[in-house]
């Protein structure tokens, strides 16, 4: 690939990275639980990982990128030397408590990845993906002091954190591959509390802004072997804890427009380390995979009034690969499905929350598999209506575009 073509790819990746930050800020999921910690956590994975229930620690695919384990980057086979992946989604969320329900729509970019190969055993990835999202607009009646009457307070939040990562994998032995990601995490949260005029004061607004950044490493290993026509892969991952260093500042505004800024307060959040293990079985066009992930949230450091718990995530997925050599297009389509269940990292009102969901999707090959479009559907249910809490039900549709060797294809016409 020439220097000019490398520059084109780099500029396209940079442009879409900036677009991800802009669109990511427009995410209006409306989840009331994103008021806690750094917001609703987003699971990081590539297109094939997401639709297969979030599996991938033990997956090695010849055509598709798997970012669940950096040790898998070198699995993509020649003659593919470059791969570009871009995805987004639109969803409808229904929120219910014990008496009412409401709907919100949301949409944003899922991830952006650029994969490249240095040699048959050595490959790398540059990518960006959301880490968390905070977006809510809720009201509550609060008392400003003991025995005082309740006054309505409206809480609004926005923002979140993104992770930018560079990774490499190397096949150290015939059946053993290792990999590592280095990630930069940065973002901001904006939290507002608004009261209208009341017997105690005029209208007041408190606007707190939190900016932070940090970094972490993902380490991965995969051991793979064949038994007759079947391939088995065992994988393991470890993610270091992440310290987010930043500052928090609050601006108070009265009904007359007068403002007062508090001093900037240095803040350090600590996100937990993560351990994962995965397994996959592949035979001809059949792939079956299972993952388990553990996060040590009890060792995390967030606001003092937030109670955290360790979490486990279980994921199962499968794929029926299409036959790319057939002239029947329907037989060339790949079909995928998955299921997951996991706990929530914050305990709210002495209640442990969890979510579960399933996914189904189809991979549509284009131009002899030099490109493909993945169309996927996801259903998830999170939370509970017990103890005055809210249950969230989501129906999500996503589209992922994968382009292989986009500037390596020889033109037929000038």
Residue 138 lies in a domain: yes
- The pLDDT value recorded for residue 2 is 47
DSSP 353-393: -EEEEEEEEEEEEETTTTEEEEEEEEEEEEE-SGGG--EEE
- The pLDDT value recorded for residue 12 is 42
| Gap between the Cα atoms of 321 and 366, Å rounded | 15
- The pLDDT value recorded for residue 26 is 36
Identify the burial level of 51 via C-beta atoms within 10 angstroms of its C-beta, where 0-12 means exposed, 13-18 middle and 19 or more buried: buried
Residue 134 lies in a domain: yes
Residue 411 lies in a domain: no
- The pLDDT value recorded for residue 8 is 45
Residue 391 lies in a domain: yes
Name the pairing type of β-strands 40-41 and 122-133. antiparallel
- The pLDDT value recorded for residue 177 is 97
Q: Of 45, 61, 158, which Cα lies nearest the Cα of 111?
A: 45
Residue 354 lies in a domain: yes
Residue 412 lies in a domain: no
Number of domains into which the chain is organized: 1
pLDDT tens track for 122-167: 999 999 998 998 888 877 776 665 556 677 778 888 889 999 999 9
Residue 325 lies in a domain: yes
CA 248 to chain centre: 25
| Gap between the Cα atoms of 283 and 305, Å rounded | 50
Low-confidence ranges of the chain (pLDDT < 50): 1-29, 406-409, 411-414
Name the residue range of residue 339's domain.
Answer: 3-404
pLDDT tens track for 45-98: 899 999 999 999 999 999 899 999 999 999 998 888 899 999 888 888 888 887
Kindly report the CATH number assigned to the domain that includes residue 226.
Answer: 2.40.160.60
Residue 413 lies in a domain: no
């Amino acid at each position: 690939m020439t220097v000019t073509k490398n520059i084109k790819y780099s500029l396209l990746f940079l442009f879409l990275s900036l677009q991800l930050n802009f669109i990511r800020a427009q995410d209006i999921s409306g989840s009331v639980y994103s008021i806690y910690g750094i917001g609703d956590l987003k699971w990081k994975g590539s297109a094939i990982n997401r639709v297969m229930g979030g599996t991938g620690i033990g997956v090695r695919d010849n055509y598709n990128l798997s970012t669940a384990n950096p040790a898998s980057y070198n699995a993509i086979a020649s003659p593919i030397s470059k791969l570009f992946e871009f995805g987004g989604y639109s969803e409808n969320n229904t929120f219910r408590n014990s008496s009412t329900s409401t709907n919100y729509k949301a949409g944003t970019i899922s991830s952006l990845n650029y994969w490249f190969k240095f040699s048959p055993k050595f490959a790398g990835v540059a990518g960006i993906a959301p880490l968390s999202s905070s977006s809510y607009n809720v009201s509550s009646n609060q008392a400003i002091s003991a025995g005082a009457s309740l006054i309505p307070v409206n809480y609004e939040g926005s923002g979140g954190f993104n992770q930018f990562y560079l990774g490499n994998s190397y096949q150290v032995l015939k059946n053993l591959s290792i990999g590592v990601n280095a990630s930069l995490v940065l973002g901001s949260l904006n939290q507002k509390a608004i009261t209208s005029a009341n017997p105690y004061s005029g209208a007041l607004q408190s606007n707190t802004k939190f900016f932070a950044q940090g970094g972490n490493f993902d380490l991965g290993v995969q051991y793979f072997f064949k038994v007759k026509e079947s391939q088995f892969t065992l994988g393991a991952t470890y993610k270091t804890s992440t310290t987010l260093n930043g500052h928090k500042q609050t601006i108070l505004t009265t009904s007359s427009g007068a403002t007062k800024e508090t001093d900037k307060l240095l803040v350090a959040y600590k996100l937990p380390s993560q351990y994962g293990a995965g397994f996959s079985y592949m035979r001809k066009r059949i792939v079956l995979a299972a993952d388990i992930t553990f996060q040590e949230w009890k060792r995390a450091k967030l606001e003092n009034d937030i109670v955290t718990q360790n979490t486990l995530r279980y994921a199962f997925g499968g794929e029926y690969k299409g036959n790319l050599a057939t002239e029947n297009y329907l037989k060339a389509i790949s079909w995928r499905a998955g299921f997951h269940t996991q706990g929530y990292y914050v305990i709210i009102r002495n209640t442990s929350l969890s979510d579960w969901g399933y996914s189904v999707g189809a991979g549509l090959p284009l131009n002899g598999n030099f490109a493909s479009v993945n169309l996927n559907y996801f259903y998830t249910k999170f939370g509970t209506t017990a103890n005055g809490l809210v249950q969230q039900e989501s129906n999500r549709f996503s589209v992922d575009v994968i382009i292989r060797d986009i500037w390596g294809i020889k033109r037929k016409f000038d």
